[in-house]
Chains A and B, each alone.
Chain A
Amino acid sequence: MEMFLAAVLCYGIGILTVFAPHHMQIMAHYVANVAAVLGSGLVFFNSWAIIAGDAPVKALRWGNYVLTCDNWSAVFLMITGLAGIIASIYALGYAESYEGKRLRILNGLWNMFIASMVLVLLAGDALSFLLFWEIMAVASFLLVNHEAEKRTTWNAAYQYLVMTSIGTAAIMIAFFLTCTHSDSFAFADMAANTLKGGWLHATFAAAFIGFALKAGLVPLHVWLPNAHPAAPSHVSALMSGVMLKIALYGFGRFMLDFLSEWNYWWAVIVMVVGLVSAFLGVLYAQMEVDIKRVLAYSSVENMGIIFAAFGCGMLLKVVTDSNWCQIGFLAALMHAFNHSIMKVLMFMSAGSIMHGTGSKNLELFGGLAKKMPYTALFTFVGAMGLAALPLTNGFVGEWMVLQGFITLAHNGLTQDVRLLTVLAFVLMGLTGALALGCFVRYFGITFLGAARSRIIEHAHESDVFMLTAMGISSVLVLLVGVFPAYVIELLCKAINMSDYMVLGVGGQLVWSGSGTFVTYNPIIIFGMLGVLGVAVLCFVVKQNVCIQKDVVWNCGTYPTARQQYSATGFSKPVRRAFDYLLKPKRERTFTQNDHSYFGRKLFYKLEIPDMISEKLYQPFNKYFVSASAFLRRLQQGSVRLYVSYVMVAMVIVLVWGAMYK
Chain B
Amino acid sequence: MEYIVVALMFVVFLQTRIMDLRRAVYCLGVQSAIIAAACLVIGMSHGGGLHAFLPGVLTIAVKVIFIPYAILKVVHNLQDENEIVSDINVNYSTAVAACAMALSYMVFDSLLPHFEGRDILASSLFMIMTGLILIVMRSRAIMQMIGLITLENGIYLFGLVMTEGLPIIIELGVFLDVLIAVVILVILTSRLRISFKTTDTNELNKLKG
Contact = CB atoms under 8 A, between A and B. Distances in A.
Given A654-B103, A655-B103, A661-B111, A636 B208 contact: yes
A650 interface: yes
Contacts of A646: 132
Interface stretch (B3-11, B12-20, B72-80, B198-206): B198-206
B189 to A, nearest CB: 13
A90 to B, nearest CB: 45
B36 to A, nearest CB: 26
A639 B103 contact: no
A658 B110 contact: yes
Interface in A598-618: none
A637 interface: yes
A647 B202 contact: no
Interface stretch (B61-69, B133-141, B156-164, B178-186): B133-141
Interface string B99-142: 00001001100110000000000000100110011011101000
B107 A637 contact: no
Contact of B132 (A635, A639, A650, A657): A650
Contacts of A650: 128-129, 132
Contacts of B136: 640-641, 643-644, 647
B169 interface: no
A591 interface: no
A543 interface: no
Given A643-B135, A646-B132, A647-B133, A638 B107 contact: no
Contacts, number: 51
B111 A639 contact: no
Given A640-B201, A644-B136, A658 B208 contact: no
A651 interface: yes
Contact of A636 (B129, B137, B139, B205): B205
A659 interface: yes
A632 to B, nearest CB: 9
B111 A658 contact: yes
A640 B139 contact: yes
Interface residues of B, number: 22
Contact of B205 (A638, A654, A657, A659): A638
Nearest to A635: B208
B207 interface: yes
Contacts of A651: 103, 129
A658 B132 CA distance: 20
A642 to B, nearest CB: 9
B98 to A, nearest CB: 14
A637 B111 contact: no
Contacts of B132: 643-644, 646-647, 650
B42 to A, nearest CB: 24
A236 B70 CA distance: 61
B16 to A, nearest CB: 14
Contacts of B111: 657-658, 661
A598 to B, nearest CB: 59
A654 B107 contact: yes
B110 A659 contact: yes
Contacts of A638: 201-202, 204-205
Of the candidates B133, B137, B205, the one having the most CB atoms from chain A within 10 angstroms of its own CB is B205
B201 A658 contact: no
A650 B125 CA distance: 11
Interface string A320-360: 00000000000000000000000000000000000000000
A533 to B, nearest CB: 69
B208 A637 contact: yes
13 contacts: A636-B205, A636-B208, A638-B202, A638-B204, A639-B204, A643-B132, A644-B132, A654-B103, A654-B107, A654-B125, A657-B111, A658-B107, A661-B111
The 6 A-B pairs at the shortest CB distance, nearest first, are namely A637-B208, A658-B110, A647-B132, A644-B136, A658-B107, A637-B205
Given A635-B208, A636-B205, A654-B103, 14 more contacts: A637-B206, A637-B207, A638-B201, A639-B204, A640-B144, A643-B132, A644-B136, A646-B132, A650-B129, A650-B132, A651-B103, A651-B129, A655-B103, A659-B110
Interface of B: 103, 106-107, 110-111, 125, 128-129, 132-133, 135-137, 139, 144, 201-202, 204-208
Interface of A: 635-641, 643-644, 646-647, 650-651, 654-655, 657-659, 661
